[in-house]
Amino acid sequence: MNKNTLLAFLMMLLVILFFNSPLWHTLRGIDPPAKRAQKEMEKEAVQKQQMEKEAVQDRQSLNNKQGPITAEEQDDAEATPEIGSSQTDSSAGDSTELSYDTIWIETEKLICGISELGGRIISVRTKEYTYDPTDKQSTDYIEIIPPNAGGAANLTINDKGYDSVFFDAGTADSLITVEGEQTKQLRFVHTGIDGKVITKKYAFSAQEYVVDLSVRGQSILGASVGMGWKCGIKESEKIDPKSRGNYDQKKVHIYNGKNVSHISEKKAAKNIESGYYEWIGLTSKYFLAAILGNGLEDSEIAIEAFEVGETQKKNKDIDYSIEMKRFSEKSSMSYQFYVGPSKLNSLKRYNKKLKGVLFGGWKFFFRADLWFPVVCEFVLMLLIVLQKAVKDYGIVIIMLTAISKVVTYPLTQSSMKSMSRMKDMAPKIDAIKKKYKGNPAKMNQEVMAFYKSEGVNPLNPGCLPMFLQMPIFLSLFVVLRKAIELRGASTWIIPWVNDLSQPEALPIVSDILKSIAPNGLPMYGDQVGLLPIIMAVLTFFQNKMTIKDPNQKAMIYIMPIFLLVLFNNFPAGLVLYWTVSSALGIVQQYLVNKKPAGTGAVIKSTKQSSKR
């Protein structure tokens, strides 16, 4: 890799960093993402307080029954479920006005709120995860459903919505607990003006992130039935532009029985997909809300991307409404909702390739959509297995670094030896270039002939081992950014780092920087990490040992500074990996340099020169 290529690469990355920096947002007169996120958090806090004060006691008239009720509908109306039942009683000419309540179900995994208005899920909180993963005593559980967003489990029959009609829960209990090995059901019943009964029956298991839902009634027989998650999904993490690698755009995922497709929009849009599908899901950075149909069936998938956030269009984030429509040949349909963490072992339990939401790839790049998710999953599984053995993700990352070095050792060793030989050949190359300075074609011909006579590849041999390590590096980068298993993971190796999935910040030094530059330094950020500094120093010495070409000596000083700025905003676990890798590379290079690897090349060149 020559000087011009390196400089071009450097300039491209600098441009990318600049256009993602707070400085760019400031110059354009747009609030940076951090400020927008703060406004959004304040807005959500007000909305949350308002929701807690309200008792959700809106009034709605229950229309009179008209027409006969079938035996099946009568069973639905009079059945006594495990938790509650519903039976409406109205006479001709009367209008019974009922209030609707929210029933709360608490399992060992979730706290779920279901409103009698539409029988919708209006709240899902995860009991295993809080907004501050470093506070082990916190009970500020993460909310999956955005406030005032319309809720989920949205039922439509022949495109007629049922979100605003009354579904009676038939229970006086406002809080129901599900513990141990228990499974409990909750039945919501709606009686229409035609007397037909529609029942939404939820089932909760204490140990599961899956909520079962069945819809029953004569109204759905022979109808197109839609089940939606139209409220979007609430982001659990703070969006910080200085931590560019730590925020993922929300995405929609569809499984057709073979492959998982990933859909991401940059602006408001509507999309309809038709075909055989098994499930559709929506992910934030760490959490998944998915609608699982009853097997692989002909379905119509409706996806609507909508803008949320500030009033200015460019400051809005994208969220999604998803719906699965199927033709019902029976008077009942069943669904499952997975609402919980995008955790590998949890997703694998359901054997519906839900784990496919974790990692994606780029089809245009050597079909990375096929092999890169496999590499990422392997790296994550390896991290999980090693963590069970040593109980420290910092140690695990060091072990993974050592494993990658062992795997690439033969190529790395060969590359370093070739580079050592090329350094010994440098005087001869310079002599050839000087001799044929006025004839570039002849000069290149003689240089290539000399390389061939010495059996050395003229291309930079140091790039190949780096290229082979890049899939590991990129997969670890993605895993550390995406895997909830590492959220809040700490290590005794770096005791001031409470979360390896977040950038490192030295407490006192970072506070001083924030006091001097409240908005942080352009491209660098407002935190100071020790590991990026150590890595930059190691990179300097490593370049000193390997770069001998006078035309490339500037890179000895430029690359450490560039990597310091770049890695300062990367997850601490990733910087730890790269730092340890650099240290091991220096040791290996030192051992290679101690051996007289270039002697043979010099002797061979001398003999050939004497023959000429």
Please write the tens of the pLDDT for every residue from 64-98: 333 344 444 444 444 433 333 333 333 223 333 44
Please write the tens of the pLDDT for every residue from 271-281: 999 999 999 99
CB-facing half-sphere around the CA of 521: CA atoms within 13 A: 12
In the chain, where the domains are located: 33-232+245-358
Assigned token pair, 409? 């050792």
pLDDT at 19 over 60: no
**Spatial distance between the Cα atoms of 412 and 439, rounded to a whole number of angstroms:** 36
Q: Lowest-pLDDT range, 29-38, 216-225, 284-293, 586-595?
A: 29-38
CB atoms within 10 A of CB 328: 17
Q: Which of 76, 58, 331, 61 is CA-nearest to residue 193?
A: 61
Q: What is the separation, in whole angstroms, between the first and last Cα of the chain?
A: 32
User: Would you place residue 401 in the very low, low, confident or very high pLDDT band (cuts 50, 70, 90)?
Assistant: confident
Please write the tens of the pLDDT for every residue from 361-391: 777 777 777 888 888 999 999 999 999 999 9
pLDDT at 268 over 60: yes
Q: Which of 376, 352, 351 is CA-nearest to residue 362?
A: 376
pLDDT at 23 over 90: no
pLDDT at 284 over 90: yes
Instruction: Identify the pLDDT of residue 144.
Output: 96
Of the two residues 182 and 13, the one the predictor is more confident about is 182
Average pLDDT estimate for 313-330: 85
Q: What percent of the chain has pLDDT over 90?
A: 38
Instruction: Identify the pLDDT of residue 34.
Output: 45
Assigned token pair, 450? 């000399």
Taking every pair of Cα atoms in the chain, the longest distance, rounded to a whole number of angstroms, is 118
pLDDT at 452 over 80: no
**Spatial distance between the Cα atoms of 279 and 357, rounded to a whole number of angstroms:** 11
Q: Are 129 and 72 in contact (CB under 8 A)?
A: no
pLDDT at 453 over 60: yes
Question: What's the CATH code, domain 33-232+245-358?
Answer: 2.70.98.90
Assigned token pair, 163? 């979100």
Tell me how far the alpha carbon of residue 15 is from its chain's centroid.
Answer: 24
Instruction: Identify the pLDDT of residue 12.
Output: 56
Q: Are 217 and 225 in contact (CB under 8 A)?
A: no
Q: Are 531 and 572 in contact (CB under 8 A)?
A: yes
Instruction: Identify the pLDDT of residue 10.
Output: 62
User: Would you place residue 48 in the very low, low, confident or very high pLDDT band (cuts 50, 70, 90)?
Assistant: very low
CB atoms within 10 A of CB 163: 17
Average pLDDT estimate for 20-35: 48
User: Would you place residue 16 in the very low, low, confident or very high pLDDT band (cuts 50, 70, 90)?
Assistant: low
Find the DSSP H helices in 391-490: 393-407, 409-435, 440-454, 463-482
Instruction: Enter the DSSP assignment of 243.
Output: G
Q: What percent of the chain has pLDDT over 70?
A: 73
Which among 421-425, 438-442, 481-485 has the top mean pLDDT? 481-485
Instruction: Identify the pLDDT of residue 266.
Output: 86
CB-facing half-sphere around the CA of 367: CA atoms within 13 A: 2
Residue 123 CB partners (closer than 8 Å, separation 6+):
102, 111, 112, 113, 143, 145
